[in-house]
Chain A
Amino acid sequence: MLKIKNLHARVEGQEILCGLSLEMGSGEVHAIMGPNGSGKSTLASILAGRDTYEITEGSIEFMGVDLLALDATERAVAGVFIAFQYPVEIPGVSNMNFLRTSINSIRDQKGEEPMPAKDFLAKVKQCAKLVELDGKLRDRSVNEGFSGGEKKRNEVFQLAMLEPLLAVLDETDSGLDIDALRIVSSGVNALRSAERSFLIITHYQRLLDHIVPDRVHVLAGGRIVRSGDKSLALELEDKGYDWINEELAQ
């Protein structure tokens, strides 16, 4: 469902991704690990269509279409969702209004009718339960004054509401306490399906104890330098990234 080939991207004259390739099948869960500043969030932003990044080479195919030809909105409509590392606050806009606008906009662009209010509320209830989102947070302004963990939980809540085909979780685990990690992970697991794929960016093996990945990739220096099964994450946890750098140097 996702084929990234030899992707090169730069920002402000600096090359951040240099020859990144990655393939994912439908229903698969892949994890991306890698040192700070290696380009993980950049990859997420590029998948989402942020125009601050200049793609100089390579291609991205999503569900058989050229993703790079679509703008950010079209990609979201096509089913790309990013749970952001740093979710932004939108003062004065209630979470509910935000989500309703979002869902109905996607439906409208697909030529569908707006979601009836009753269905929407039922869905909100169901999805909030999935991640145990506090009722008060639903009615507050989008992320405004939310704690770090609450923001992350809200991202997964939105994920559940929007039902994307590809969900990129950018360090959704950082900032979550132990209980929250468990709750959010089981929420994500409940959302796994044969059509939906997850790309999980994380620094910690413990998340992968809960959400077991089919593949683990190491992103370093703007490329995938190693891929393996879930045991690779354990190995990284144990040894850090130095050994990969050393192997690469050889």
Chain B
Amino acid sequence: MSKPLISVRGLTKKFGDFTAVDGIDFDVAKGESFGLLGPNGAGKSTTMRILAATSTRTSGTVEILDKDPELFGPLVRAHLGVVPQQDNLDNELTVSENLFIYGRYFGLSKKFIKNKIEELLEFAQLEEKRDVKVEALSGGMKRRLTIARGLVSEPDILLLDEPTTGLDPQARHILWDRLFRLKEQGVTLVLTTHFMDEAEQLCDRLVVMDKGAIMAEGSPAGLIKQYSSKEVLEVRFGSDRNKEVAPQLATMCERMETLPDRLLMYTEDGEALLEKITHAGMHATTSLVRRSSLEDVFLRLTGRTLIE
């Protein structure tokens, strides 16, 4: 195997006494799409900022293209396209000026950027807003512009911190499609997300983070296979009865999780399990059979749901 593009060992970040990132290790190979998945406060953004060479670490090592981002900040950042969690556009400038000046920060020629702007305005579907001050854009438009801006320098590595938060479903799918195409062109993607479907769609490999630590690592399918069953039967008996029937139901499946409003039963065949329950004389008020998702992996690993 060739040397990884990004290599992280024992990475720790403390803010005072508080440990935000607690000794994590991972590698990202060239052309790979790598995800950090985890709930609020897991340490995803902190990790991303360290990769982006805009934050220092407390201990551990980080190498991006064989370079320590702390020692070679500008050089490492020249390889990166960064989309931070919070849009940080230049409010004093227009849409196209934002793209233009950002390219200039990278030292790119004016001619190159002028051509690139056309492409990026189309990418972000902001052609009609090109001469509008960014203050006047909607939240989703700002997000799209921030993402487009990250592509001005044609980066080798794209760091996306919750890229689709605030986008409508259509814009999300368009973005997934664009990211997929970038990946086909050999761009390495590192992204964080709360959205299971996004992680499953976009990531070749991901780590599940919680409280600054990595709980598991693998491909989305691999993780589901390892930590969950093929199918999940979700049943509701009404909030009071859920608890009553839980002990009996638990014996009928491989594993069960009791959530406040529903029971999740892990099994290879959901329909068959539902029949069995009905036979046993228990009638669920609602039931749903679905495939296991990363959400279930997360629940298994941490005992908590990812969103909510």
Q: Do A and B bind each other?
A: no
